Every structure is written in C-alpha cells, then in structure tokens.
Amino acid sequence: MADDFIKTLKLFFYIQKSHFKTAFLSVGDALSNVVIMLINNLSFIFMWWVIFHNKGSINGWDFSDMLLLNAVMNNAFAIFALFARGIQALPEYIDNGSLDNYLVSPQRPLFMIATSESTFANWGDLLTGLICWILSGYTDLLSFALMLYASLCAAAVLISYRLIVSTLAFFAGDTQKLGDNIFMAFITFSSQPASIFTGWYKVMFLSIIPAGFISLIPVMLIKTAALPVFLFLNGAAVLSIVISTAFFRFGLKRYASGNRFGVR
C-alpha cells in the first residue's frame, strides 16, 4: 500500500508539473490571469469591508470573521480548481464517451479524472486566502496551522459536493449546466456570513447544503481551537469523501452496465 501511495504521489506531481508547463506557455497570460483573479477577489473583500464598516457586525459576526471565512473559502476553492478541476468536466466526459479513456487507465479512474484539468489563475485565490488570513489578526502559529487544516477539510467538502453533482450525469443526460448552477449556488451560500443562517436554515446549512463546513465551522475552529469543533469538521470532511466516492462508484456501475457502450 505504501508503494502504491508513493507511485500515486509521484504521478500527481508529474501531472501538476505538466499543467504548470502548459500554463506557462504564455508567461504573460499566466501571471496576468493570477493578478486579475487576485484583484477580483480583493474587490469582493472590499465590498464586505464597506458593509461591516457601516453596520459594525451581522448577528455577532464582524469583519475579522469574514476575513477568516474568505481565507478558508478561497484556499478551498483554489485546491479544487488547481488539483481536482477535472471533476467539473465529468458530465462532459460521460456524454462524449471520453470517460472510457480514464476507465482503461491503470490508475484509479477518479484520480485521473480529478487531475485531468487545472486552472492556473486560481493561484490568485491562494494569494487571496493568505492576505485575508494576515488581515484577520489571527496570525499566531496555531491559528495559521488551524487555518490550513480547516482549508483542507473545506476543500474535501467542496470537492465532494462537486463530485456528487457531477455524478448526476450518470443518471440523466446533459447535466453540465445544471451541475455548474448548483455548484455556484453552493459557493454563494458558502461565501455569506454564517451568522445570517438561524433555526432550520442553519440545519440545512450543515446538511443538505453543507456550506457551513466551509464557513461557520472553520471560522469557529480557528477562533476557538476547540477539540469538539476540530473533530466535527474532520468527521464532516471524511464523511463527505466517503459518500461522494460511493455515489461515484454507484454511478460508474450504471455507466458500465448501461447502453452508452452499446451505442459506441
């Protein structure tokens, strides 16, 4: 098992190196896209600064909480876009039959699908996350470690949700646009101050639309460093991975036994 992990890790770095070289075929375009992404994100942060500057707080949340949310959110989305963007293209792979190429690969199909695409501009999201963390005031070493861990857990939830939405393509045709819209709605929910969700909305915020595991819980973890919050977030990340990969395998069985191969 250790050998397989090392081989997979080496393949991962090789794929990322290839994506990096492809992005830098035009150095100017690559760097300008990162800068544009950074400016776009910071303008969004500035908008929230104006809101909090005028209102003071929103149901107990202040601007430092919003900065922590954006630090985790931008990091999580960057991890998805840089290292697992291929999941978003899964419906297209299913519809045009190119999924077959990944199924015959000696590597795990889901790993190859996830790493098949990358968007270099999203390095700007990582820079945004770092800037937001610095501005938040929670700049001690423990808070930095918790922020990184919370970002990884949030990325796991984000990627898992995208995988579940993309896997719907196994059961219905032409779901690419639907999946993109659902995913963007999820991102929008995750980008709002978690304090605005109360009562049953908060329950939905942590279950059906698990945006709270990208905003509310990570911010609580960074601010409190509480073990129960750590375990709750960790459990949510693991559970989301288990559910999404199981759903993908279920859909893959349907694809393998369906009529797409027959038509081809």
pLDDT digits (tens, 9 = 90+) for 96-123: 888 988 888 777 899 999 999 999 999 9
Please tell me the pTM assigned to this model.
0.90
**Placement of tokens 């989305």 in the chain:** 77
* Nearest-angstrom CA–CA distance, 243 and 30: 35
Closest CA to 73 of 217, 189, 194, 214: 214
Closest CA to 134 of 74, 191, 61, 188: 74
Q: Which residues of 40-65 are buried (b: 16+ CB within 10 A; e: fewer)?
A: ebbeebeebeeebeeeeebeebebbb
- Structure-token pair, residue 143: 């808070």
CB 187 within 8 A of CB 180: no
* Nearest-angstrom CA–CA distance, 117 and 15: 9
| The pLDDT value given to residue 96 | 84
Return the ∠ at Cα 240 (arms to 217 and 215), rounded to 5°.
20
Return the ∠ at Cα 110 (arms to 104 and 113), rounded to 5°.
80
* Nearest-angstrom CA–CA distance, 129 and 75: 5
* Nearest-angstrom CA–CA distance, 110 and 241: 12
Identify the band that residue 1 occupies on the pLDDT scale cut at 50, 70 and 90. low
* Nearest-angstrom CA–CA distance, 91 and 179: 8
Percentage, residues of the chain above pLDDT 90: 59
| The pLDDT value given to residue 4 | 80
CB 89 within 8 A of CB 112: no
Identify the band that residue 168 occupies on the pLDDT scale cut at 50, 70 and 90. very high
Least confident among 153-157, 185-189, 192-196: 192-196
* CA distance to 84, 113, 154, per residue, from 88 (Å): 8, 9, 17
pLDDT(88) > 80:
yes
Task: Tell me the per-residue pLDDT of 18-66, one tens digit each, with 9 for 90 and over.
Answer: 999 998 888 889 999 999 999 999 999 999 999 998 888 888 889 999 9
Average pLDDT, the chain: 89
pLDDT(263) > 50:
no
- Helices 216-224 & 141-167 angle (0-180, nearest 10): 160
Q: Residue 40 belongs to what domain range?
A: 2-263
pLDDT(260) > 70:
no
Residues 6 or more apart whose CB falls under 8 angstroms from that of 166 comprise 87, 88, 90, 91, 175, 179
Instruction: Report the domain count for the chain.
Output: 1
Interval 176-193 mean pLDDT:
87
Distance of CA 103 to the CA centre of its chain: 24
* Nearest-angstrom CA–CA distance, 155 and 162: 10
Identify the band that residue 204 occupies on the pLDDT scale cut at 50, 70 and 90. confident
Closest CA to 197 of 79, 58, 13, 10: 58
pLDDT(261) > 70:
no
| The pLDDT value given to residue 264 | 37
pLDDT(258) > 60:
no
Task: Tell me the per-residue pLDDT of 229-247, one tens digit each, with 9 for 90 and over.
Answer: 999 999 999 999 999 999 9
